[in-house]
Amino acid sequence: ELKWTEVKSLSSDLKDQEVLVRGRVQAVRAVSKKMAFVVVREGLFTVQCVLMVAKEKVSEQMVKFANALSRESIVDIEGVISVPGEPIKGTSQQVEIQVRKIYCINRAISTLPINIEDAARSDAEIEEALKDGKQLVRVNQDTRLNYRVLDLRTPANQAIFHLSSEVEHEFRVFLRSEHFRGIHTPKTMGGTSEGGAAVFRFDYKGQPACLAQSPQLHKQMSISGDFRRVFEVGPVFRAEDSFTHRHLCEFTGLDVEMEIKAHYSEVMDIVDRLFVAIFDHLNENCQGELEAISRQYPFQPLKYLRKTLQLTFPEGIQMLKEAGIEVDPLGDLNTETERKLGELVRDKYDTEFYILHRYPSAIRPFYTMPCYDNASYSNSFDVFIRGEEIISGAQRIHDHEFLTKRAEACGIDVKTIATYLDSFKYGTPPHGGFGVGLERVVMLFCNLNNIRKTSQFPRDPQRLAP
Ligand code: ATP
Ligand code: AMO
């Protein structure tokens, strides 16, 4: 009985041994009636399989069969590992399989809407070919997303979604080690949690309902339920109506909520240590993936400090002012000023990851705790990677009357969130937390230009399929 071997572990250590691998046909090269090469791909890895009549009992029939294999078909290959004298061009593995048997497990149609080798090219490679007078196919984003299962097979995409899974895993590992408990909150609600327009409404058996814009209300109620420290990984729905590079209508939220003993800096301290752990993990354990992404989408490694830089909002405004950019000191930063501040911070502090805290109260959600010393500011923060927001967080108001007043002042119909507001009548400790957009973390860590690249099946204002 032959054991399955992964393509990635095929090396000269296995010389002369028999192996059994499963993969996809990446390319077939017919040499003659008596010889053919089949490049087989499994994830990020490829290996050259050689069929030669007279060797390993290969028949002309088998060579003919191999020559007729369509790209992307699934094949099982039995054979013996050999090590050629010269380096093998175009495959990741530096050994060959001398094929004994080849089975086609599932045949792909012969005209595919996307050729994986085209989809895997970098812009630079395409430009380079143009200079040599060669035309290479450029696969545009809509084609990629329409035929996403094919597009997902490129090395860069295999690597992107590996990183995404690692970020989520490290999020859980770190928080569990800090005694946070994983929870699940409802995604159907009678009211909105973030207020505003960006909400999907639907009919819940005759009652007006919304898809959850965040786990905000229920994660806070978990604190009222004495869960003390909680986290959730789950879908978040936002009925965004504009088309941007960083907004999806459905994304994966990584949410945290915790009791605060004395100061909202306790929450920022978790952000600091959590993200240093996540970034370290990616850099230490995902080298192959980072290289695969870089080959198609070149980027510089993220600059971050061992202890995350914290700046106050007024300090940020001052830095912009000194650079000649006047912004409203009690207003919000826009995409452009956020990015500019990111550049100023990078140049001054040598970091592309930082926390901006003490935001003006007027631009934060109703549940945000104002600063004790000056109510125009709040115990809140945003966190940025390369000048773009990945996290919002804050200490929350835990006094029932004050919270209700703030909700009313923000124009929220308090009837729709009555059970949430009421829960603060029964005693709730001071608490705070934050929400992270998973797709944004991966996008910005790798300096990708569009959030659709880090969502497996993105949902935007126009796209509801696949
Ligand atoms: P959050 O949901 O935390 O607010 P966000 O990244 O959408 O995340 P916003 O506070 O909504 O952040 O927006 C920050 C800035 O980004 C806004 O001041 C605005 O200038 C810009 N912005 C937000 N949404 C859009 C959009 N749909 N199109 C263009 N710019 C936008
Ligand atoms: P906020 O609305 O800032 O805060 O959302 C938190 C984080 O979620 C991500 N995000 C998005 N990602 C993709 N597409 C979108 N349309 C989108 N909107 C937001 C961002 C953002 O930083 N309840 C608060 C969090 C808290 O205070 O705990 C909240 O939802 O990365």
Catalytic residue among 162, 229, 246, 452: 246
pLDDT digits (tens, 9 = 90+) for 399-414: 999 999 999 999 999 9
pLDDT digits (tens, 9 = 90+) for 389-401: 999 999 999 999 9
Of ligand 2's listed atoms, the one at least distance from the Cα of 391 is 22
d(CA 48, CA 68): 17
Pocket flag, ligand 2, residue 434 (CB < 6 Å): yes
Q: How far is the CA of 450 from the centre of ligand 2 (A)?
A: 16
Pocket flag, ligand 1, residue 219 (CB < 6 Å): no
pLDDT of residue 55: 73
CA angle 174, 384, 437 (to 5 degrees): 60
Pocket flag, ligand 1, residue 165 (CB < 6 Å): no
338 touches 388 (CB < 8 A): yes
pLDDT digits (tens, 9 = 90+) for 294-322: 999 999 999 999 999 999 999 999 999 99
Place 2 in a pLDDT band, splitting at 50, 70 and 90: confident
Active site residue 238: yes
Active site residue 392: yes
The neighbour count for residue 389, using CB atoms within 10 Å, is 18
Is the confidence at residue 56, as pLDDT, over 80?
no
Q: How far is the CA of 437 from the centre of ligand 2 (A)?
A: 6
Pocket flag, ligand 2, residue 214 (CB < 6 Å): yes
Instruction: Tell me the C-alpha to C-alpha distance, in Å, between residue 392 and each of 45, 251, 335, 395, 455.
Output: 38, 15, 15, 11, 20
Q: What is the pTM of this model?
A: 0.96
259 touches 437 (CB < 8 A): no
Catalytic residue among 78, 117, 240, 266: 240
ipTM of this complex prediction, to 2 decimal places:
0.91
d(CA 297, CA 154): 12
pLDDT of residue 6: 98
381 touches 396 (CB < 8 A): no
Catalytic residue among 257, 289, 352, 389: 389
44 touches 105 (CB < 8 A): no
pLDDT digits (tens, 9 = 90+) for 151-203: 999 999 999 999 999 999 999 999 999 999 999 999 999 999 897 779 999 99
Is the confidence at residue 54, as pLDDT, over 90?
no
